[in-house]
């Protein structure tokens, strides 16, 4: 029996060797990838130094070379990851075993007990439970439903959404005949956000289960994918986390469709590449992953960072850190690129996308403090570094561009000296490096876009071309490249602003992600991007003043900055998104041949009443079932005297002035205890001519 | 002497029941039945009887109560809870969660009003109703299995 198997009390003889996660040459893979990246970076840095130092290197030019080298190293790792991914996809190889890719063939039923956990915070209950039901029905169709329970872990603070969640839960249990299979609990105090929510679950109910599959509020997974993940866990006793690559889907705005398209086309390439060199040290992305419960409890209780937020306090981006602690304790974390049937949703527009990034930025910047913490594996540190750099690279690119502008400005102020101070036989002629500059430009752009272009071509030349819109996949690819080129400078500015904001001590709140196809009004886009436009205009004027050629060199970046509000406005349009769909642009296989789970999700979402969540308190007062259900879901406890008095005062206000008169906090207060029915609230008030408002009686 | 003080002192209640108290009993029974979506005269009469009996027998502890309404609410709760306990064979029907859970189950089972006339009926054999309730019982969470998830340390000594 192996160590890991012994750790789990599993006999090696019972393990299915065909799904064993292991592969040859782990060290060689990393040497190849990082060796190639270092080599390419060194070459690019040398080329840059050659171009800038042709005449003589100024201090500012040295700064430019330094920033360029750091940024180039970053993109070259991504480039070689993509190249490896293309190779693996092209030859149909498994990224881990390097053998021919085969579907997982399970031998027998699952032996483990699993739970799907869905932490939610002020999310649309209709959407959450539609996703749960789609996944549940798919799981039931596999015949393995007995091996799974579902748990909705609510951290919701909005009183109306809270009650709607309870009612949706009861309806799901009744409709699916899943009483005792789908559970619901709400935390009274939502300390430590999502990680605290999971921690509380782990400390109360999780030990009923061997593994937990963590969902996001917008996650949907196929039954096959979930069963396969549980099967892989059973047969790899040293695995702590197995991550599936979630595909973004379901949104219709142009912005979301572009991202969905490129994630579907290029995402598998990058996943395969990452899995190739990360192997058992892969990362955890926070959802659509299966986790070994006992290992998670034993080694993933997050520390609290010293100091104040945003860099100190509770760890916000918990997923990377949990994976690092798993690895530290000896458990393996795997990314399985071929695990299909795993979906998530994207923010519908650039502003919501940026809002999400702002939250992630704060979390990822905290990881800088963990980079040198003792005990973590080198690859875990690399994941932390990559997380930091996913936002930190933006200010570095910005600094690179600004320093280039300053260097160009300095150069134009210099008078060229053909005869330097020391004695020479011949005049020192200016050296033309325009060819090298062109090579460097092509080299850099190539590193950024070549893997993506190859991924698009592979889809275009592949058998599944029709699923991506047929020949229009090429047009989609070209338009996506143009769009991302224009969007990149906007994100660079926004990310730079976020990083600056975090480093200067500002922190963000915790808001639910926008999950509807919401457009952005032009005024809102203009207001959000006004600083970026001004910067773009000033920068353009300076560049034009400095050197016309330099202005044209910068023009793609300046165009992105100046056009930011228009780009945000048009890309958030649902009508344009749908028009693109009709033109077969940015089409994904999920749209052309919708999987059963997504079809169910769409059906359930369409069936949901097209209205906002009702007033939860009013619902409890009027609807006996909702009232009883709410009482049943509250923890058994008695209010102290002070609370009794406070609640009494709120009820008095409610009876005299109606539901609308109560604040959110007052509603939360009385909802934290069994709610009186209308008759009791109004008892003794009939003679006082203090009626409830018309809409609440 | 008011109705309340009479009740609190434990006098025989029936002799003193005023029209106002009769109306209060009636309204209380109606409110409680409405919270179970029951609109049935026999059920209403049964609950009225239960409330009256509770007051007559002085079975409600009145010292902690502030009003006749509280006394009647407690009596109604206890009467229904004891009926649920007899019906289901479960003892946890008196607590707030257990009572609410039974109420949920009854409301679900009685959505077509099929069980309204059997509400609080202690004469009838209620095995079929008990079965219907057991089918509709909600289970928000499994039993708690507590454990501690220790916080990891970033301290150098702890790591070594």
pLDDT (tens digit per residue) in A332-369: 999 999 999 999 999 999 999 999 999 999 999 999 99
Using CA atoms in the order A555, A558, A564, A565, what is the torsion angle rounded to 10 degrees? -100
Find, among B141, B1, B7, the residue nearest to B74 by Cα. Answer: B7
pLDDT (tens digit per residue) in B24-64: 899 999 989 999 999 999 999 999 999 998 888 765 555 44
Q: Is A571 helix (H, G, I), strand (E, B) or coil?
A: helix
Here the tokens at position A531 are 């600083």
Q: Between A301, A630, A633, which is nearest B152 by CB? A: A301
Label residue B14 by pLDDT band (50, 70, 90): low
Dump the DSSP string for A195-230. Answer: HHHHHHHHHHTGGG-SEEEEPPTT-EE-HHHHHHHH
Indicate the DSSP class of residue B151. Answer: B
Q: What is residue B58's predicted lDDT score, i.e. its pLDDT?
A: 63
Q: CB distance B97–A325 less than 8 Å?
A: no
Mention every residue, 6+ apart, whose C-beta is less than 8 A from residue A578.
Answer: A252
Provide the residue range defining the domain that includes B25.
3-138
Residue A256 near residue A577 (C-beta atoms within 8 A): yes
Find, among A389, A392, A367, the residue nearest to A380 by Cα. Answer: A367
Residue numbers in A near B95 (CB within 8 A):
636
How far, in Å, CA of A452 to CA of B18, rounded? Answer: 86
What residues in chain A have per-residue pLDDT under 50? 1-2, 686-697
Residue A563 near residue A490 (C-beta atoms within 8 A): no
A211-214 and A332-335 as β-strands: parallel, antiparallel, unpaired?
A: unpaired
Find, among A302, A664, A223, A471, the residue nearest to B151 by Cα. Answer: A302
Q: What is residue B54's predicted lDDT score, i.e. its pLDDT?
A: 86
Q: CB distance A183–B138 less than 8 Å?
A: no
Residue numbers in A near B27 (CB within 8 A):
679
Residue A225 near residue A341 (C-beta atoms within 8 A): yes
CA distance B96 to chain A (A): 7
Q: What is residue B91's predicted lDDT score, i.e. its pLDDT?
A: 81
Find, among A427, A179, A280, A609, the residue nearest to B104 by Cα. Answer: A179
CA atoms within 13 A on the CB side of A564: 29
Mention every residue, 6+ apart, whose C-beta is less than 8 A from residue A45.
Answer: A65, A68, A69, A72
Q: What is residue A322's predicted lDDT score, i.e. its pLDDT?
A: 97
How far, in Å, CA of B121 to CA of B119, rounded? Answer: 5
Indicate the DSSP class of residue A375. Answer: T
Q: Between A208, A297, A370, which is nearest B149 by CB? A: A297
How far, in Å, CA of A137 to CA of A345, rounded? Answer: 20
Residue A158 near residue A123 (C-beta atoms within 8 A): no
How far, in Å, CA of A187 to CA of A151, rounded? Answer: 13
Dump the DSSP string for A19-33. Answer: G----S-HHHHHHHH
How far, in Å, CA of A612 to CA of A305, rounded? Answer: 39
CB interface of A with B, residues 176-215, below 8 Å: 179-180, 183-185, 199, 202-208
Number of structural domains in chain B:
1
User: For tokens 């937020």, what's the residue?
Assistant: A309
User: Which residue would you say has higher pLDDT here, B21 or A349?
Assistant: A349
Domain assignment of residue B144, yes or no: no
Q: CB distance B35–A627 less than 8 Å?
A: yes
How far, in Å, CA of B117 to CA of B125, rounded? Answer: 13
Q: What is residue A418's predicted lDDT score, i.e. its pLDDT?
A: 63
How far, in Å, CA of A217 to CA of A195, rounded? Answer: 14
Write the secondary structure of A262-329 as one string of H (helix), E (strand) and C (coil): HHHHHHHHHHHHHHHHHCCECCCCCCCEEEEHHHHHHHCECCEECCCCCCCEECCCHHHHHHHHHHHC
Residue numbers in B near A203 (CB within 8 A):
146-149
Residue A622 is inside which H or E element, if any? helix A616-622
How far, in Å, CA of A286 to CA of A356, rounded? Answer: 14
Domain assignment of residue B146, yes or no: no
Residue of B nearest to A115 (CA): B142
Q: CB distance B156–A184 less than 8 Å?
A: no
* Best of B142, B144, B157 to mutate (most A CBs within 10 Å, chain A): B142
CB interface of A with B, residues 604-633, below 8 Å: 624-625, 627-633
Q: CB distance A677–B27 less than 8 Å?
A: no
Domain boundaries, chain A: 637-696
Q: Between A208, A299, A305, which is nearest B145 by CB? A: A208
A332-335 and A239-243 as β-strands: parallel, antiparallel, unpaired?
A: parallel
pLDDT (tens digit per residue) in A110-129: 999 999 999 999 999 999 99
How far, in Å, CA of A14 to CA of A147, rounded? Answer: 18
Residue numbers in A near B107 (CB within 8 A):
624-625, 628
Indicate the DSSP class of residue A93. Answer: B
* Best of B140, B145, B147 to mutate (most A CBs within 10 Å, chain A): B140
Residue A574 near residue A252 (C-beta atoms within 8 A): yes
Mean pLDDT is lowest, of A602-611, B73-82, B90-99, B150-159, for: B150-159
CB interface of A with B, residues 148-167, below 8 Å: 149
Q: Between A149, A173, A207, which is nearest B147 by CB? A: A207
How far, in Å, CA of A259 to CA of A455, rounded? Answer: 14
Q: Between A624, A630, A680, which is nearest B107 by CB? A: A624
Residue A502 near residue A395 (C-beta atoms within 8 A): no
Which residues make beta-bridge pairs with A211?
A: A114, A292
Which residues make beta-bridge pairs with A44?
A: none
Indicate the DSSP class of residue A117. Answer: E
Question: B113: left (phi > 0), else alpha (psi -120 to 50), else beta?
Answer: left
Residue A5 near residue A15 (C-beta atoms within 8 A): yes
Find, among A219, A268, A115, the residue nearest to A513 by Cα. Answer: A219
Question: Does the pLDDT value for residue B128 go beyond 60?
Answer: yes
How far, in Å, CA of A369 to CA of A365, rounded? Answer: 8
Residue numbers in B near A373 (CB within 8 A):
154, 159
How far, in Å, CA of A480 to CA of B18, rounded? Answer: 82
How far, in Å, CA of A320 to CA of A385, rounded? Answer: 11
**Cα angle B147-B152-B158, degrees, rounded to a multiple of 5:** 125
Give chain B's contact residues with A (Cβ, < 8 Å): 27, 30-31, 34-37, 69, 73, 95-97, 99-101, 103-104, 107-108, 137-142, 144-156, 159-160
CA atoms within 13 A on the CB side of B68: 24
CB interface of A with B, residues 674-693, below 8 Å: 674, 677, 679-680, 683-684
Q: Between B100, B107, B144, which is nearest A674 by CB? A: B100
The answer to whether the bond into A343 is cis (omega within 30° of 0) is no
Mention every residue, 6+ apart, whose C-beta is less than 8 A from residue A100.
Answer: A92, A93, A94
Label residue B6 by pLDDT band (50, 70, 90): very low
| ipTM of the complex, rounded to two decimals | 0.84
Find, among A642, A638, A653, the residue nearest to A692 by Cα. Answer: A653
CA distance B1 to chain A (A): 21
User: For tokens 């030349």, what's the residue?
Assistant: A461
Residue A271 near residue A288 (C-beta atoms within 8 A): no
Find, among B135, B143, B141, the residue nearest to A183 by Cα. Answer: B141
CA distance B52 to chain A (A): 19
Domain assignment of residue B143, yes or no: no
Label residue B156 by pLDDT band (50, 70, 90): low
A220-221 and A342-344 as β-strands: parallel, antiparallel, unpaired?
A: antiparallel
Residue numbers in B near A207 (CB within 8 A):
145, 147
Domain assignment of residue B14, yes or no: yes
Domain assignment of residue B77, yes or no: yes
CA distance A565 to chain B (A): 44
Which residues make beta-bridge pairs with A241?
A: A291, A333
User: For chain A, how are helix, strand and coil distributed in percent, rounded to 5?
Assistant: 60, 5, 30
């Amino acid at each position: 029996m192996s160590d890991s198997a012994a750790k789990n009390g599993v006999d090696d003889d019972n393990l299915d060797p065909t799904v064993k996660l292991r592969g040859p040459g782990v060290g060689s893979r990393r040497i190849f990838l990082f060796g190639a990246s270092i080599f390419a970076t060194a070459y690019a840095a040398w080329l840059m130094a050659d171009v800038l130092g042709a005449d003589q290197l100024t201090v500012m030019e040295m700064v430019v070379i330094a920033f360029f080298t750091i940024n180039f190293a970053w993109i070259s790792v991504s480039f070689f990851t993509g190249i490896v991914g293309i190779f693996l996809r092209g030859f149909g190889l498994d990224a881990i075993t390097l053998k021919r890719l085969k579907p997982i063939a399970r031998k027998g039923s699952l032996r483990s007990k699993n739970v799907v956990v869905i932490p939610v915070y002020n999310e649309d209950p209709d959407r959450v439970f539609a996703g749960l039901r789609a996944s549940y029905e798919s799981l039931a169709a596999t015949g393995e439903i007995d091996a799974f329970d579902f748990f909705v872990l609510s951290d919701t603070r909005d009183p109306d959404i809270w009650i709607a969640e309870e009612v949706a839960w009861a309806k799901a249990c009744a409709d699916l005949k899943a009483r005792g299979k789908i559970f619901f609990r709400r935390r009274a105090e939502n300390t430590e956000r999502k990680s605290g929510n999971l921690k509380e679950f782990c400390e109360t109910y999780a030990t009923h289960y061997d593994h937990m599959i963590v969902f996001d509020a917008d996650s949907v997974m196929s039954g096959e994918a979930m069963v396969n993940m549980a099967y892989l866990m059973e047969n790899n006793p040293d695995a702590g986390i197995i991550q599936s690559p979630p595909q973004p889907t379901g949104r219709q705005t142009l912005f979301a469709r572009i991202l969905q398209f490129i994630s579907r086309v290029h995402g598998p390439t990058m996943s395969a590449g990452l899995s190739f060199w990360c192997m058992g040290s892969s990362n955890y992305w926070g959802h659509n992953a299966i986790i070994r419960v006992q290992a998670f409890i034993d080694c993933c209780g997050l520390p609290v960072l010293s100091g104040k937020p945003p860099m100190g306090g509770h760890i916000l981006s918990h997923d990377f850190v949990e994976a690092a602690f798993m690895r530290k304790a000896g458990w393996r974390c795997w990314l399985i690129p071929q695990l299909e049937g795993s979906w998530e949703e994207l923010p519908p527009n650039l502003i919501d996308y940026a809002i999400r990034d702002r939250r992630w930025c704060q979390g990822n910047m905290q990881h800088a403090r963990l980079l040198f913490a003792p005990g973590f594996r080198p690859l875990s540190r690399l994941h932390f570094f990559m997380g930091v750099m996913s936002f930190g690279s933006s200010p570095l690119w910005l600094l690179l561009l600004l320093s280039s502008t300053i260097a160009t400005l300095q150069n134009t102020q210099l008078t060229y000296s053909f005869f330097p101070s020391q004695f020479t036989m011949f005049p020192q002629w200016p050296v033309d490096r325009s060819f090298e500059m062109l090579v460097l430009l092509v080299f850099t752009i190539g590193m950024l876009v070549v893997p993506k272009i190859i991924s698009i071509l592979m889809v275009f030349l592949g058998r599944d071309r029709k699923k991506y819109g047929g020949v229009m996949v090429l047009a989609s690819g070209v338009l996506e490249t143009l769009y991302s080129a224009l969007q990149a400078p906007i994100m660079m500015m926004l990310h730079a602003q976020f990083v600056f904001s975090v480093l200067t001590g500002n922190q963000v709140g915790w808001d639910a992600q926008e999950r509807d196809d919401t457009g952005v009004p032009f005024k809102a886009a203009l207001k959000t991007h006004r600083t970026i436009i001004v910067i773009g205009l000033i920068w353009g004027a300076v560049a034009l003043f400095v050197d016309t050629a330099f202005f044209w060199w910068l023009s793609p970046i300046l165009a992105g900055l100046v056009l930011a509000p228009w780009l945000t406005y048009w890309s958030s349009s649902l009508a344009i998104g749908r028009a693109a769909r009709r033109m077969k642009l940015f089409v994904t296989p999920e749209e052309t041949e919708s999987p059963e789970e997504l079809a169910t999700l769409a059906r359930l979402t369409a069936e949901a009443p097209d209205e906002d969540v009702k007033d939860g308190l009013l619902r409890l007062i009027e609807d006996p079932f909702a009232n009883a259900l709410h009482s049943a879901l509250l923890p058994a406890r008695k209010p102290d005297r002070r609370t009794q008095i406070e609640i009494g005062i709120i009820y008095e206000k409610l009876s005299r002035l109606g539901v609308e008169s109560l604040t959110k906090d007052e509603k939360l207060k009385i909802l934290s205890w069994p709610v009186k029915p209308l008759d009791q609230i109004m008892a003794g008030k009939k003679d006082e001519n203090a009626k409830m408002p018309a809409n609440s009686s | 002497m008011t109705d309340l003080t009479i009740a609190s002192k434990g006098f025989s209640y029936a002799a003193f029941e005023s029209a106002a108290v009769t109306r209060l009993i009636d309204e209380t029974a109606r409110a409680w039945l409405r919270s179970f979506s029951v609109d049935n005269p026999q059920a209403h009469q049964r609950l009225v009887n239960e409330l009256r009996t509770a007051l007559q027998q002085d079975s409600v502890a009145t010292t902690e109560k502030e009003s006749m309404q509280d006394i009647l609410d407690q009596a109604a709760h206890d009467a229904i809870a004891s009926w649920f306990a007899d019906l289901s064979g479960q003892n946890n029907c008196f607590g707030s969660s257990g009572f609410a859970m039974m109420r949920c189950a009854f409301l679900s089972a009685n959505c077509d009003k099929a069980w309204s006339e059997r509400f609080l009926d202690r004469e009838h054999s209620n095995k079929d109703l008990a079965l219907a309730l057991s089918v509709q019982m909600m289970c928000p969470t499994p039993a708690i299995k507590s454990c501690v998830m220790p916080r990891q340390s970033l301290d150098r000594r702890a790591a070594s």
